Structure formats: C-alpha cells, structure tokens
Structure 1
Amino acid sequence: MHTEVDALVAALDIGGTKIAGALVDARGRLLARARRATPAQGDAADVMDAVAETLAELAGSAHWPRTVAVGIGSAGPVDAAAGTVSPVNVPAWRGFPLVAEVAARAGGRPVTLVGDGVAMAAAEHWQGAARGRANALGMVVSTGVGGGLVLDGRLHPGPTGNAGHIGHITVDLDGDPCPCGGRGCVERIASGPNIAARARESGWRPGPDGEVSAAAVAASARAGDEAALASFARAAQALAAGIAATATLVEIEIAVIGGGVAGAGEVLFGPLRQRLADYATLSFTGGVEIVPARLGSDAGLVGAAAAAAQASGLWG
C-alpha cells in the first residue's frame, strides 16, 4: 500500500463546459494543470478525446512518474460500481465506460470515480471549510443541486459514487415535477434556474442588462426587491429542510455550501440559517453549522484526488 508523501494523484474534473486536470500532492497542492473545453454536443469519442488530451498533457509533466492513482469527479449521474457516467449535459455519454477508458490511458494506475458533489465534499473536508470535522455534508448549489457526505472522518461515496445527493430529497410532497422523475425535490426549488424562474413568475424583472440568473435575482434581493427576496427565501427553506433531513439520518455537524448560488452570500445564508431552526428540532440536529465553501473552482480537482487517495490508501 502506498503511503509515500511524495506520491501524486492525477485528478480529472469533468463537466458540461470544461474538462480540467491536475497532478495533486499530499498537501492538496496542484503541481501541474491541464484544461480542455468539453465538446458537449460532439459524439462520445469527441468528448473522450478531450479527456485523453487533458490526461496526456498531465502525463507530459516532469511530475508524472510520481503519480500512482487517478481520481475522477464527474457530472452525473455516475455509476462507480460499473465505472460509467451519463452526464445530463453531455448527451453523447450515456453509460459511457469512462473508468476503463481512462485506465487504458493511465498506465495501469488505479482509477476512482465519484460524482461531482461527492468530490466537492471530499475537497472541503480535506482542505476547506469542513477540515477537522468528522461528519459533514458538502453541497453544490448551482444549475443543479448536488452533495456528498463525510462520515466518521471518511468520504462516504456509497456503492455508485452518489451518496449524499441532497438535491433529490423531496421537500414538497405535492410539488412541481422534477426532471429526475420525482416531485418537489430540493433542486426543483433551490437551483439557480429555478430561483430565477420563480422570481420572474412573482413579478421580478431583470435589470437593463437583461440578465436572468440567480446572481441577478440576488442583486435585486440585496436592493430590497420583494419577489427576489421571496424566491431566495423559498430556496433557503428547501435547503434547510434537506439539510435537516440529512442531519436526522446521519448526524452531520456541518454543512458546507458552494456553487454559483452560494455566491449570493447573506441573501441565501441568512434565511437558510433561520429556517434550519424550523426543521432541525431534535437535540442531535440542532447544532448543525452552515458555512460557505472555501475552495472555489478547484474543489472538483482537489476532491477527486482525495477520493482516489482514500481508495488507494495514500497519504494516511
């Protein structure tokens, strides 16, 4: 089992707009980087070519010989048990055998696959806002809502690499249909596009630049716009209910929230902390801390490396 502190992990962060890669060391530093645009409308081979080019650029680094494992954080759904990915925003990849394809190009190094929400949770626990906490929920609130769990000090990806996917907990029993097939999911209420859509339905209008996004709604909310404030309040309520449900099930002590919507700051975090008290009412759920994520756009890479390191027994 490798424990050498000089061993590196090659990390890949795969999404609908970009494929990022890095060589990551035992302190979470990114020693080499590579990046390609995701040819999301291309065929399956086009997308894999972009991944292969990213990996090849990393393999050209002087640090590559120290690389002993590969970690992948991918937009989902993922199936780590089967080694496949079916990202919603990459139509050509449905059940695509990503782990086998990467392993074939990684010189026999072991490959670990997790969903992007799980990667974010791993990153924030290892190097970010949940460092030193044994039980944590990491959440990405963006175009969708994802998440991941750390339990008893270890990442808990579950058999398929999706455990902690809080975005598809139902918080409104008779709520709107969600694209996942369920109803009233956290994501259906709290994602960026849904915050913007609800604000518009309630009378909010974009500014002179015409931007229709959660960030634009947040700016209006800070200026006191009632429809904008109400839409963020509703999103905060949904997130609070989902976090409380998670705390009730697995006793988390902290929830770390990242993603574009978290950039709204107190417009989101203020009502979220308030509403959490309405749902986290049991003695063992009442102390859950809500904090913003720290690692930003590198979280996917850092977390993919952490997941691979845990799976490979690296770095203690």
Structure 2
Amino acid sequence: MYGALDIGGTKIAGAVVDAEGRILVRAERPTPARGSADAVLAAVTSVLDDLSAHGAWRSVSCLGVGSAGPVDTVAGTVSPVNIPAWRDFPLVAAVASHPGLPAAVQPVLTGDAVAMTAAEHWKGAARGAANALCMVVSTGVGGGLVLDGRLHPGITGNAGHIGHISVDLDGEPCPCGSRGCVELLASGTAIARRALAAGWRPPSGAAPTAASVAASARGGDGIALAVFDRAAQALAAGIAATASLVELDVVVIGGGVAQAGDVLFTPLRRHLTTYAALSFTRGLKVGPSALAGDAGLIGAAAAAASARTDAPDAGRPLGALHPTTA
C-alpha cells in the first residue's frame, strides 16, 4: 500500500493507494490559502489524522507528497505561489513528525504537476508515451515532463513548470516575480478574475468561478467565450514553446479548468495551429487527463514507491519511469 498527499491552492487531499493505482481510502480539506503557515499545516494534519484512522493506513510502505510549487525536493521545502504563507516551508519534516505515520516511512516530496505526470504516464492519457507534457490547470498552472520514457523532474523537482513561462512580455506582474506568465491568463483563478473585470456576472445563485464562466461560455456568453479563448491562447503559446525545446508526442491537461471540455480544448487546438507551426511541433496531440482529480494522488503514491530502494517491489508502479536528474 502507498500513502499519498496532494496539496494545492484549493484543496488538500490524501489517500491510500494500492499497487494497481486504485484509491482505497480518501480524505480532503479545503486549503486556507490566505491563512497562516500554521493554518495550512493544520489542514494537512487533519487529512493525515483521517487517513491514519483507517486500518489500511497501517499497511502503507511509503508516502508521496505532491505539492504546488515551486518545491525543493532536495531540501524538502515548498514555496507554493498560491499559498503565500508557505515560503521555504519544511513540509517533509512537518509531515514526517505526524504521530500516525507508520514506522520507517519517510515522506517523498514531488511537485503536484510532476505527480500528475507520473500518474498519467502510468495509468492515464500519456500511458506509454516516450515524450509527454502533462499539465495541471487549476488554481494555478503547473506541468511535468516525460522525456525518453522517463519522468524528468529536474534537480529540484520543478522541471516542466509551464505556468511560469512568460507569454505576454508587457503583461501583469506575477506573484512569481516575472510578468505575463501563462498562469496569469489560463488558471481558473485568472479566468474568473478576467471575466468579472470584463463585465461578466455569474448565473443567479452561482459562485464567480472558472466553472461558472465555462457554463456561461457553453450558453454563448460573449465575454466568457473571449476569456476562455485568451486562456487557450496562453496555453497554446506555452505548449508550443515547450514542444519546440524538447519535442513532444502528447500533451495532457488536467485540473479543474480542463473540466470545461470543448470550451477550452476547441480554441486551444485552434491556437496551436498558429503557435506550433514548425514541422516537428505541428499536429501535436492534446487531450484531457484520463484520471481527472485522482491523478495527483495516484502520481504522488507512484513517485514515492518508485523512490524506494529497500524492498523487493521497489519502483514497481513506474517501472522504467524512475525520476531522473539527468
């Protein structure tokens, strides 16, 4: 059995995952993203409390922790752009100190989008691909890479962080310190904010979220359609830049914004015909995650299992998909 945590700007989820990638036990709390460092950690602790109350937790042999980034997998710290109170926060040490953690289990940190990439390559829409970009488009925008059939998290665990490619050189300042990042145009937070600024209002009784903007777009609302078109354009520019650098076979997009379906993917594919114009980037296959909201948990578990070197089944879930810093 493998334990998993998936920490993002909207929710903190945890699970017990079996060797076939099935989620057996799950727990979840909302992320107090604007709260104190202790408040965010309290939500993580609450999820671990719930998991440790289940009998399956006693059989957990490793624990993967997927977090919004940037992360530093060497130092065990995280600095999520969308959780301002966590800067160089010692997440691995904090999780390791939980009294319910099974003996000898040490948390293995990975970026949330890298975890999603591991899951999609193991069980999902990128299964078997030699070269893939997998993206989480949600509260923020993250990404991970598979190159030559192997997960490529980079030295610190942040390779593939496409959300902070600048696609608008004179654009708004980003919390990361740059300007005009993909995340400022394509994240769920950005979609809702830009739609409201342009005069869109959610349907009666609905919250002003990206999902509500998508619903309005499906109903033909011009502002909502324009905002999603702009988000798709930003994603297309970032994807094309990545494909030009490393050559890709497939791009998989998960996260809440991907649930918009054709509202997102139709303009995205259209914009890719403009941005991915080189012969080796043209016709790039782009589609939704096959694992949806479970990808982060399954991938965190898989990455942790792959990192094990002390058991006969070490690395079993990922096979050749071992993390590499090469």
Same fold, judged at TM 0.5 (above): yes
Find the partner of 2:235 among 239, 261, 265.
239
1:310–1:284 distance in 2 versus 1, CA, 3 Å: farther
Q: CA RMSD in A?
A: 2.3
- State the Cα distance separating 1:46 from its structure 2 match: 5.0
Match in the other structure for 1:22: 15
Any stretches of 5+ residues in structure 1 without a counterpart? Answer: 1-7
Residues in 1 aligned to 2:52 and 2:16: alpha-carbon distance in whole angstroms: 9
- State the Cα distance separating 1:119 from its structure 2 match: 1.5
Q: Counterparts of 1:40-55 in structure 2 under 5 Å?
A: 43-45=36-38, 47-55=40-48
1:301 alignment partner, SS class:
helix
Match in the other structure for 1:74: 67
Structure 1 range deviating more: 256-265 or 222-231: 222-231
> CA offsets per residue over residues 57-77 of structure 1, 9 Å max, x none?
444544445432211011223
Report whether the alignment pairs 1:126 with 2:126: no
1:108–1:92 distance in 2 versus 1, CA, 3 Å: farther
TM-score by length of 2: 0.85
Find the partner of 2:4 among 4, 11, 24.
11
1:223–1:20 distance in 2 versus 1, CA, 3 Å: closer
- State the Cα distance separating 1:311 from its structure 2 match: 2.0
Report whether the alignment pairs 1:300 with 2:296: yes
Report whether the alignment pairs 1:267 with 2:263: yes
Q: Is the 8 A contact 2:9 2:140 kept in 1?
A: no
Q: Is the 8 A contact 1:203 1:227 kept in 2?
A: yes
Q: Is the 8 A contact 2:9 2:139 kept in 1?
A: no
> CA offsets per residue over residues 27-73 of structure 1, 9 Å max, x none?
10123333445455665455445434533544454444543221101
Match in the other structure for 2:140: 144
Residues in 2 aligned to 1:32 and 1:260: alpha-carbon distance in whole angstroms: 22
Report whether the alignment pairs 1:278 with 2:271: no
Match in the other structure for 1:195: 191
1:51 alignment partner, SS class:
helix
- State the Cα distance separating 1:267 from its structure 2 match: 1.3
Residues in 2 aligned to 1:227 and 1:272: alpha-carbon distance in whole angstroms: 17
Q: Is the 8 A contact 1:253 1:287 kept in 2?
A: no
Residues in 2 aligned to 1:39 and 1:196: alpha-carbon distance in whole angstroms: 19
Structure 1 range deviating more: 202-211 or 132-141: 202-211
1:170 alignment partner, SS class:
coil
1:280–1:116 distance in 2 versus 1, CA, 3 Å: same
Any stretches of 5+ residues in structure 2 without a counterpart? Answer: 309-313, 320-326
Q: Percent identity?
A: 66
Structure 1 range deviating more: 21-30 or 237-246: 21-30
- State the Cα distance separating 1:302 from its structure 2 match: 0.4
1:140 alignment partner, SS class:
strand
Aligned length, in residue pairs: 309
2:61 alignment partner, SS class:
strand
Structure 1 range deviating more: 192-201 or 256-265: 192-201
Match in the other structure for 2:322: none
- State the Cα distance separating 1:145 from its structure 2 match: 1.1
> CA offsets per residue over residues 240-260 of structure 1, 9 Å max, x none?
110011111111211111122
Match in the other structure for 1:5: none
TM-score by length of 1: 0.88
Report whether the alignment pairs 1:85 with 2:81: no
Residues in 2 aligned to 1:181 and 1:97: alpha-carbon distance in whole angstroms: 22
Report whether the alignment pairs 1:213 with 2:232: no
1:17–1:235 distance in 2 versus 1, CA, 3 Å: closer
